[in-house]
Structure 1
Amino acid sequence: MVAVGNRTAGAVYGPGQVRLSTTFLNERDIFSFTAVVGWVVQGDTLYRSGYGLDNVGQLTDPPFLMRIGGGWTNYKFVEEAEYDEVEHAPPIRTYEYGLRNDGLLMRWLNTNDVWRRSLGGVGFEAVKTMALISKTRTHDTFLATTRGGGLYTIRINVVPSFEVKKVRASTWQVFETLLAAKCGLSGTLLLGIDKDTQSGYLYAVGHANGAATVIRSLGKVQGTFGDPVYFRWRLAFDPLNGG
């Protein structure tokens, strides 16, 4: 399990221990120690989890696991979308998302680690993986690949509804993992990971606008991507404006 960001932390969890992971919050203190916290699925169970790193990225505290609940065997994707409009202010809302193998896309409102279902939608069984690219007052937006090769945006509105748009029709089925970060004012830096070839490819994606979305290939990333789970590190203030 490896963090994609300015540092990596290998061997935090045991081999095969973590099956799914959200983005992890990366917070440094005045002594340059880092606390990394997020959500992981191990087997059938979802946990709040985290660990500590020193200033050279070495593990200082073993990972803790706070059990949230079971029933996650059939899920293939989880993510957290914490929205805040200004730095150093409490988040306005925190949503948790989960995609099941049967195509049910779920959303929960998270209040002090108490999850309450706020939305569920069917019809997403063709989706292979997703990446969060936008968090706004009115909606969250994901980029999603499908088994048929399509690349789509899935916009999930705060007032419960879904909006799906095709971005590209083919070739994207090779990616089992997508990771996204803010690029410029309204774009996205997208990493696609092909587990079959253990390769990563980087793209600069313009503001999402259906088939008119600009996507520029930045080429193959150096190195081998052979780990089973990849996730993104984020800062406490994490504006995403790609959709």
Structure 2
Amino acid sequence: MIAVGRRRVRGTSAVLGLTLLVAGLTPGVARAAGTVAEGSTAAALACSVNLGSLTGDQHILREVRATKPVTVTETRSTTGVYPVGGRPALQSYFTYEPGVANDGYSAGLAVQQGVMYEIAYSTASTDGPAVPPRQRKRIGGGWDGFRLLEQVQWQSPNFTMPLRRSVYAVHDDGVLHRWTIDPAGVWRKAESAPGFASLKSIAMISKNYSFDTFLANTRGGALYTIRIPTTAALKPVVTMVRSKTWQGFESLVAQSCSLGEVVVAIDGDTESAYLYAIGHANGAKTPIELRGQLPGGYADPLWFRWGTAPENEIFRGDN
């Protein structure tokens, strides 16, 4: 298993000091009792996406808050993440676990020059270089033809069940692959399912013991959910959410909560990004509200989600 689990602060939910609550849904959809008012200071703190990007060998964290207008704050940057092998072609989400001061520990998966690695590094401050111990564990080659990658780690909050790690990747031929990683860190035989050639990006919106769900957009403009059982054979259930207008986004990054998802959609051609509040996934009836355009430019070549220890994450986009 990657070293991410070795510095875990068990029983806490301090992912960069943020609480994950969606503050708004589409017009006409009733607000749940007790939620904060849109545009309020409480909403700014509560409704956030931990948006990560990679430029050169630098990891960046931006807090994207679902206020109106949307606010964005860069809170951390780390240089020297990939001193060997160059910028990765693919990268999974990365965990970040804060230390006792401003230090922290980050870990994830990356594909460099066609080879999959487990990457882990420490930081001594919120802005500065990655410092030892640094880990770059080679998993294996043959990854040149893959274009989408994500890892899902699920752990029951009370640790009554073992950690589940699943790695998903889409090949250029449109085949979706899944590997499982056992507690010893061994990658098990991949399963596969065809039919995903049109996907442009994926973002996890649900995870539990029995299934994972992704939000995905296509080159043709459709928006789908892809629900994948984890306790049975790889047989994805694909459901259309919208039939058009989503083709312009190269990256989707989602943060989930009890009311739905907060999703950052990034258009690489225009170097712009938009924030959406997406209610509980229910096919074409899924409520979607555009919260607004993010200020600033978004030209970084790779975007991802910053997460925390698996037992502290709740993703229930279609539970």
TM-score by length of 1: 0.92
Comparing 89-98 with 227-236, greater Cα deviation is found at: 89-98
Give ranges in structure 2 of 5+ residues lacking alignment: 1-53, 64-74
Considering Cα pairs closer than 8 Å and 6+ residues apart, tell me whether 1 or 2 has the greater RCO. Answer: 2
Q: Deviations over 1:158-196 (max 9, x none)?
A: 21221000000111110111101123x141110111000
* Partner of residue 205, structure 1: 278
Taking the TM superposition and a 5 Å limit, the aligned residue runs for 1:94-113 are: 94-111=165-182, 112-113=184-185
With over 3 angstroms needed to count, the CA separation of the structure-2 counterparts of 1:31 and 1:8, relative to structure 1, is closer
Structure 1: which amino acid aligns with 2:96? N
Please say if 1:67 is aligned against 2:138.
Answer: yes
Aligned to 2:205: 133
In structure 2, the partner of 1:121 is 193
Cα deviations across residues 53-99 of structure 1 (Å, max 9, x unaligned)? 23433224165321111011110111111112215677531111111
Partner of 2:284, secondary structure, is coil
- RMSD over aligned Cα atoms: 2.0
Q: Work out whether residues 205 and 261 of structure 2, in 8 Å CA contact, stay in contact via their aligned partners in 1.
A: yes
Which residue number in structure 1 is paired with residue 227 of structure 2? 155
What whole-Å deviation, never above 9, does each CA across 1:118-176 have from its counterpart, x for those lacking one?
A: 52100100111111110022110000110100000000012122100000011111011
2:77–2:126 Cα contact (<8 Å) kept: no
Indicate yes or no: 2:150 matched with 1:83: no
Q: Spell out, residue by residue over 1:213-243, the C-alpha distance to the aligned partner (whole angstroms, 9 max, x if none).
A: 1111011101111111111111102111112
Code of the residue aligned with 2:150 in structure 1: it is: E
* Cα distance change, pair 168–16 in 1 and its aligned pair in 2 (3 A): farther
> Which residue is 1:171 aligned to?
245
Q: What is the aligned counterpart of 1:24 among 71, 94, 103?
A: 94
Distance 1:75 1:120 in 2: 13
Pick aligned residue for 1:190 from 263, 269, 275: 263
Match of 1:214 in 2: 287
Asked which structure has the greater CA Rg, the reply is: 2
Instruction: Tell me the amino acid that sits aligned with residue 108 of structure 2.
Output: G
1:202–1:148 CA distance, 2 compared to 1 (3 A): same
TM-score by length of 2: 0.71
Q: Whole-Å Cα distance in 2 between the matches of residues 194 and 87 of structure 1?
A: 39
Matched, 1:39 2:109: yes
Three-state SS of the structure 2 residue aligned to 1:174 is coil
d(CA) in 1 for partners of 2:121 and 2:86? 18
Q: Where do 5+ consecutive residues of structure 1 fail to align? A: none
Letter in 2 for 1:241: R
Higher strand share: 1
Instruction: Write the deviation string for residues 91-113 of structure 1: whole angstroms up to 9, x where unpaired.
Output: 53111111111111011111132
The answer to whether the 8 A contact 2:124-2:131 is kept is: no
Name the SS of the counterpart of 2:247 in structure 1.
helix
Residue 142 to residue 187, structure 1, CA distance change in 2 (3 Å): same
SS of structure 1 residue aligned to 2:151? strand
For residues 4-52 of structure 1, the C-alpha deviation after alignment (integer angstroms, 9 at most, x for no partner) is 4543425433696111110111111223311110001112011101222
